[in-house]
Structure 1
Amino acid sequence: MVQFTPDDLRRTLAGLRWPLRLTRLGMFAEVAAQSLWPLMAVILFALAAAMLGLHEVVPIEVLWGAVGLATAAGIWAVVYAYRHWAWPTKPQAMARLDSSLKGRPLTALLDDQAIGEQDAASAAVWRAHKRRMAERVKEAKSVPADLRVSSRDPYAFRLVAVLAFAVALLFGSIWRVGTVAQMASGGTGAAISGPVWEGWAEPPRYSGKPTLYLNDQDAGEIELPIGTLITMRLYGEVGALEVSETVSGNTAQADPEAPAKMAFDFKVSKNGVISVDGPDARHWNVTVRQDAAPEVVILGKPEVSVLGEMRLPFAAKDDYGVEAGEARILLDLASVDRRYGLVTDPDPQPEIIVPLPMPIAGNRVAFEENLIDDFSQHPWANLPVTVSMKVLDAAEQEAQTAPTQMTLPGRRFFDPTAAALIEMRRDFLWSRSNARRSGQILRAVSYLPQQAFRSETTALRLRKLIDRLEMLARFGINDENQSKLAQDMWNLAIELEEGDLEDARERMRRAQERLNEAMKNGASDEEIAELMQELRRATEEYMQQLQREQAQRQDQQEGGEQQQGESMQMTQDDLQRMMDRIQELMEQGRMAEAEQALKEFQEMMENMQVTEGQQGEGGQSPGEQAMEGLADTLREQQGLSDQAFRDLQEQFNPNAQAGENQGNEGRNGGQGRGQSHEGQQGEGEGEQNSQNGEEGGGGQQGQGNQEGQGQEQSLAQRQQQLRDELNRQEGRMPGQGTPEGDAARDALGRAGDAMDEAEQNLRDGDLAEAIDNQSQAMEALRDSMRSLGEAIAEEQRNQQQGQGGQQSDRRADNRDPLGRDQGSNGATGSDSEANLDDDAHNRARELYDEIRRHSEEATRPKLERDYLNRLLDRF
């Protein structure tokens, strides 16, 4: 039997040397904090008052009263510390350390067996017990000190003292403490009655420089920004101190008979000297730091979108930051081809003034931005103009670029009739005297309507426009008639260019057929992506035309009732999800499934009725559609940010195998799908993904150097596509004119700016900065969604008063997702049996997809998403 000897006990206690010392040191800190806090508070209060110079401004009686009060408080604090001070002993430290251990092992080791010492079995148990306690003692650690004194200082005087001392450090001067000694030695009258002086140098606020207390500045050289305000105050006998300066540029001679000034205020405008003559004299040689003028430059030619939107890049900088800017666009009349309707002198048109976009967050010292605007409807569209940009800094200094010649971008029209109509609109806006000529040319264009128009409706509308044009030419044209007629001509040209419903349907069918042929013939990924984008545009145009025609049919029906037929009701978001699914299958290489999904999409588009989002009728309001669109954009941005983060990791760990399992995202930003990080194709389905990883792991290593730059370029292109999608959503944002809607639009603007920065960072290969800008874009998108939600809620509250009867009628026709009638008065529960007809499985699938979509929305509360995920796991 192993004995637990006294030597073992000494060795065990020796191992507690440092935990015991640290515990005792902590107990000493506790005693100091609990005993000395009143004394420290009194000292900090006294120092703060002295550093702030309170003793120099209060009456002498109040000052001596404060000194007596502070002395009494200090004596009480010393007595308090003496009464509460107690040196911690070693047994006390050992007891605290023992109480922190389970079973108090130190006490057990120092105890002796009281009974049964002669019993061998009992003695063996006692020794085993001591060995177990010795093992616990080896795990002992020092006990942290408890420095809280809130129970002794319930009103937090100590914190107030610390705050006062911090204020004194920021706004006071440590040198003022020395004047207290002068007062104690009988110099009180001299300290208060003078002669003394104070001075401050306050730089312009836009410079961001702090105010300088001149009493703390040693004589010698000092550099100040131009425009710095110097304030000098003299105290004591008049004339004992004098202030002279040569920095303000003031050359006026002082009146010798005027009384001496005791206050001086002037601004620094040039190099010079500031002097204080008399007791405590001081002289400074001031060097002025000039405020440089801002700079602005146009970086290149404008980029023009298909619909005529212009994106003009520019860069600006200033030493303290650019405040604002504007672009001025003037017609370059000398470069205009003066033919046809442009032969006549143009009517006076004001120059186009557009404010330049400024960075909302960050530094404006140097930045690059894009002037984005659409001038397609302006009379100068597609004509030569000169563009100049001007910026302004906080000192109201200006900088302007030289006039740059360019053609003002505008929308191009490919339909001959629409192009002719737009040209006559331009001539009409160029000069009102062209009205008669424009009407004659349009009559000639529409002479054979069966060749110039697709439908009689558009031909009749053009005839009415011509009649109005000729009537205005005969009786006179004012600004209102001119702008209204020009707008009608623009709208008709857009309809002629985009076509009617049949044209949109035909374009959509051609896009579907081209995509189907490309998938069958094994086209490249770039070609398939381009064809998919073309299908998206054609489908969106078809949906818009279908909505317009359906709205016209509803207006013609009595009571506004919709015809109920065999057509399928789908929203634009439903179609968007279907196309996303098709593109996802193609990117995964599952062409057979993609062809089948495209076939189902074609069949649905043949028999479809667009819903307009009325409550209770299975549709969505424009606000809800915008909310879902923003949620999709947020998810896409999150995917791009995750991809950029993984690429950044791979730069430091090239051997990392990411994107090859179901939990990670591939190159397309989807979960566990798309390309792996080495460029191989991944299915994202577990086993297949692993197989691809094994087969492609070795072959891809040699391509890393060739594909590295291309990967960032691919991310930049996808970031640009996401930015274009955000522009489209911003144009459809509801709630314009309301505070909530305007806030949502402002947040979208911030998100767009951050996306532009992220795109540029990705093109430059700066992944870290791109991730930061992408995070700002996501935060701005969340702000926009919150503001949009508030706008939707406000709109619904405003509509509730006038919709009571209609809602009650619709509520009676509602059914739950299982086809059961709702309870009385719109209750959500019902005892009726489920209507499990042939469409029950489709409704169940729709319900499942809806739950899955909501579970992926990051804006929903985590508790709700966990609940939805549990439902998905169960069913």
Structure 2
Amino acid sequence: MTEPAGGTADSKRMAPDLPASLESAAHQRIATAVVRARLVLIWEAAWPRLVPILCLFALFLALSWLGVWSRLADPLRYGALALFGIGYVVLILRLARMPLPTQDEALARVARESAMEHRPATAFGDRLSQPTDDPLTQSLWRAHRLRLLEKLDHLRTGFPSPGMNARDPYALRFLLPLVLLVAFLMAGPDRLDRIADAIRPGASAVEAPPRIDAWVTPPAYTSRPPIFLTGDAARPGSLDPNVPIKVPQGSVVTLRMPTEPDLAAEATTAAGQAIAFDAAVAAKATSGTASDATPSTEHKLTLAGDSALRVERGGRPLLAWSFAVTPDAPPSIELTREPSATQSGALSLAYSLKDDYGVLSAAATISALEAPAESGARPLVAAPELPLNLPRLRMREGTGETIRDLSAHPWAGAKVKMRLTATDEAGQTGTSAVTEFTLPMRSFHNPIARAVVEQRRVLALDARTAARVAMALDAITLDPAKFKTNGSYLALRAAYHRLTGARSDAQLVETVDFLWQIALGIEDGDLSLAAQDLRAAQEALRKAIESNASDAELEKAMQDLREAMDKYLEALAQEAARNPQSANRQPMDPNTQVLRPEDLKKMMDQIENLAKTGSRDAAQQMLSQLQQMMENLEASRSQQGQEGQNGEMNQALDKLGEMIQRQQQLMDKTFKMDPDTDGSGADAQPMTPEERQKALQELREGQQNLQKMLRDLQQTMKQQGMQPDGKLGQADRSMGDAAEQLGEGAPGQAVGPQGQALQALRDGARSLADQMARQNGNGTGTRQGGPMPGQDPLGRQQQGRGTDLGSTVKVPDAIDAQRAREILDMIRKRLGDPSRPLIERDYLERLLQKY
């Protein structure tokens, strides 16, 4: 017989027992198993009561996200909410009345799950029913408790088993999470609002959320796509109401919503001030069939600054957006060099442009240094208009150049001020700093023509000088014998009588134009008039291309250009026939590139085809090339009388070209003498020390002779009034260093100074060529108008004439070629090594491929 623990003191004293430590450990194990068993029993009892609560909550969320509440009338919606509330109360009360497991139930769970004999967790708490001193009984009792103690390490409580399969045999509880996921995705960013619709008053089927469409259209010139504020395109979450939407300035927000009395849209600035919509246009919404279509209104708002837009219904906000507007900066334009003149007297402007979205147009505004109101002058002719060429339409950043022949304008030769203006697509303008210069004018070699042009400019700038100009014309015509033809004399007398008989400014303006025609006739006869007509035809075609003229207008402009070109070439031939000595002043090089009439015809046909096919930018660029070619041709013709003045410079350039070639040869030979570079090559014969010393001595003498030639050339240039560039002095010093290194027997150290001398010679030659070009350009500091030495009249490098000053294409010299051969030999050597990795050999094979 046993008794439970907790007997009398005498029984405890008399009953044999285990040590206290073992007793405490055993009771701790039993208590832990009991706690686990209670938790398992609580979960098994609570989970069947929690699942209905969770399912009911999931059903409520699914119905909310599917938009059911906004489609139900208030009685039905409130009734459904009441059913949900009653269900929640019943299920929560059922969960609250759940009984907690007792100690005996926990021990029974442990005994059942442990599946051990004698139920050790329960039996370990038993005691002897009667105290005894029998040794045998005590020994048996102690052995029994020790066996129970060993089994306490294997107590089990098992996993919870709520028995949901028996309660829900069709597994309907797993269907609700799937429905909840679908509803979550369908609700999108409106999830919280749809949940609030369950308790929000007035959310009935008749007052369902309206269909609202909104989008932002950036200006077309920004090339940015529209931004959709509603619909599926706006669902990824990028349109956070708290994060402003970045849009360029000038973007238009379009808001389309149903026409309802309580539906309103409001736009405000960042400071909270109201903004009026641009327009409200009635539109028909296509929602479903024609019978379901409801009238709607489109509101448009142009964003000029940071703004906010919201839509409300009965004072309740529905949608809201905020916009951060990026300002459209005005364009900028600046001259990259001072205004200059070509050889033929045309104005050349070089400038840089910049805009965030592209420059649409540019122009130069020319005005007098002193306003007419201040000086009291009465100009007959306004300042010339000068639109600027753009390298390409809507160019964001780059440089451009415009050449305009203003020599026929009455203001040519006058001191003016100019400001460049650039305009972008938004209509904003940017201006450059004011530049003062003298408008280039055509050079007249005939003194009578020069005097006529001067009086023409005086008359055009101030009508009050008409009487004084008439007196000057009368003085010019005092001696008819000075004129080659009677036509020029009679024309000047007619101009005199026009001035004296003029009664209006219009008649004076006609006289101004008449004086220009007279001056051209006196200077070159029909050739100058033909050149003037050719420039006018080129300008008319340029304007037609820029204004996107029709094909018929382009054909007419091209026909006028072809006729003007034919007349100009015919006049040029007649001039050459009348003055054969000017054409034969210098024999033509047989390798000179000649521009034939067939080439001009082909070029004009290509311009017309490009313009008609929509390649207007390419057509305009080719027209500029044609204009530049004709300017060079005109400049070379006017430059024939100046060839004698440039003879000394041409000779100096020829000598410098010869020095460049000799210095190049010396450097190649010196490089081959360097033993470290193995420049002698595989086929060269080895040299004895005596032969090497002799070769180095010859190189030194050759370098010293070249240095002496350079010094003599500098002295000659100074005597002829030319100013040698500092680069020639640098070349002299480098040659001396190279000769010193060669004298010390160090050719490898001499190659560097020789290369520096070669580069300094090339720089000095280019500087001398620029100086000659400035003199040919009448002091304008430009060489755009005339050909350089060694170029044909059209500005192209002649084959076999002139000296290559190293200013064009860099041709590999002997040193570069030798280094290239060494690199190829090394690549082939490594490619033939089988121990190289495969990836390296593949790479080396690609290096040897010829493209």
Alignment TM-score, normalising by the size of structure 2:
0.37
Higher relative contact order (CA 8 A, sep 6+): 2
